[in-house]
Amino acid sequence: MRVPAVERAAAVLEALAGSREPLSFGELAARLQYARSSLHDVCSSLVDAGLVEKTRSGRYGIGLKVVELARRRLNSMELVSVFQAVCRADGTSAETIVLSVPSGPDVIYVSFIDGHRPLAVKYEIGMRLPAAFTASGKAILATLPMERVRDMLPNQLENPHGVGGRKSLRSLLAELKVTRERGFSIDDEETASGMACIGAPIYMGDSEEAVGAVAISLVKSATDWFESANSDFIRRIAAEISIQLGADTPGIRALRPERIRF
């Protein structure tokens, strides 16, 4: 049974989450086009519950309670817990390792293990980046049917972050073909200047489409970032996570740890 008040509350949270800045009541009303009295009641209830915060100037933004609930949900996710366990069992790494999951044309960072080296990007739980420009995003996209990638993305891709701000869909598809052939993806300063990332897909069950990806972030000036040890390392981490998630596909069998040379 539908509950209109809950639907309106969800719409308010979606609108606030999609805005980079807090919204005034008028801006929120213009986006949602609900009756102002009804919208005011929903906003007030959300503020009382801590799900929305109201600034001194009367603008609305996502509340800390939402962040807290999201963190609890992520901590309970099997993918996140397996990622954390595999990385910590492998020992400390000088480089930062990140875990991402797909969300339409983007990837969302849901967990990470800090390395010892400083990075040009500060990873945060919930950070969203365009999949076409990130190592983990390209690792995921490479496992999808190319027709779906074409339907999902425009012909001209733009990245508001990093140095490589634009690329064509055609060039991305060529990059994804190479990614599938070699078994790992590359972000060469597309996320941040001076930083490279190498990613590998994570599978679950018998699906040949990735449920997520791991990537290792490297400062190019501090290491020989393209040496095979780095791509072998992240592929092994991805394989171990996938195996623990019950993956049994041709893709993961090709990545099993015993078949990767160190």
DSSP collapsed to 3 states, the chain: CCCHHHHHHHHHHHHHHCCCCCECHHHHHHHHCCCHHHHHHHHHHHHHHCCEEECCCCCEEECHHHHHHHHHHHHHCHHHHHHHHHHHHHCCCCCEEEEEEEECCEEEEEEEECCCCCCCCCCCCCCEEEHHHCHHHHHHHCCCCHHHHHHHCCCEEECCCCCCCEEEHHHHHHHHHHHHHHCCEEEECCCCCCEEEEEEEECCCCCCCCCEEEEEEEEHHHCCCCCHHHHHHHHHHHHHHHHHCCCCCHHHHCCCHHHCCC
Is the confidence at residue 83, as pLDDT, over 70? yes
238 class by beta-carbon count within 10 Å (0-12 exposed, 13-18 middle, 19+ buried): buried
* Percent of the chain with pLDDT strictly greater than 90: 48
The mean predicted confidence, pLDDT, of the chain is 85
Mean predicted confidence (pLDDT) in 123-145 = 92
Same domain, 186 and 158: yes
Same domain, 190 and 168: yes
- As a whole number of angstroms, the distance between CA 111 and CA 214 comes to 10
**Is 71 among the domain residues?**
no
CATH code of residue 10: 1.10.10.10
Q: Which domain holds residue 133?
A: 77-259
Same domain, 43 and 107: no
Is the confidence at residue 249, as pLDDT, over 90? no
Same domain, 170 and 229: yes
Same domain, 123 and 203: yes
CATH code of residue 177: 3.30.450.40
What is the predicted pLDDT for the residue at 258? 47
When pLDDT is cut at 50, 70 and 90, the band that residue 259 belongs to is very low
**Is 26 among the domain residues?**
yes
Same domain, 209 and 114: yes
Same domain, 31 and 102: no
**Is 70 among the domain residues?**
no
Is the confidence at residue 77, as pLDDT, over 90? no
Per-residue pLDDT reduced to its tens digit, 144-193 = 999 999 998 999 998 876 566 789 999 999 999 999 999 999 998 888 88
When pLDDT is cut at 50, 70 and 90, the band that residue 262 belongs to is very low
Same domain, 245 and 126: yes
- As a whole number of angstroms, the distance between CA 135 and CA 96 comes to 13
**Is 41 among the domain residues?**
yes
Number of domains in the chain: 2
What is the predicted pLDDT for the residue at 253? 54
Of 85-94, 104-113, 226-235, the one with minimum mean pLDDT is 85-94
**Is 68 among the domain residues?**
no
Same domain, 95 and 179: yes
Same domain, 160 and 52: no
Report the b/e string of 116-140 with b at 16+ CB within 10 A: eeebebebebebebbbbbbbbbbbb
Mean predicted confidence (pLDDT) in 226-244 = 89
**Is 72 among the domain residues?**
no
- Residues forming a β-bridge with 158: 166
What is the predicted pLDDT for the residue at 46? 94
Of 25-34, 74-83, 125-134, 238-247, the one with minimum mean pLDDT is 74-83
Same domain, 182 and 112: yes
**Is 172 among the domain residues?**
yes
**Is 69 among the domain residues?**
no
What is the predicted pLDDT for the residue at 134? 94
77 vs 46 pLDDT, higher one: 46
- As a whole number of angstroms, the distance between CA 153 and CA 149 comes to 6
Is the confidence at residue 238, as pLDDT, over 50? yes
- As a whole number of angstroms, the distance between CA 225 and CA 220 comes to 6
When pLDDT is cut at 50, 70 and 90, the band that residue 195 belongs to is confident
Of 44-58, 74-88, 142-156, the one with minimum mean pLDDT is 74-88
Same domain, 238 and 113: yes
Mean predicted confidence (pLDDT) in 209-231 = 84
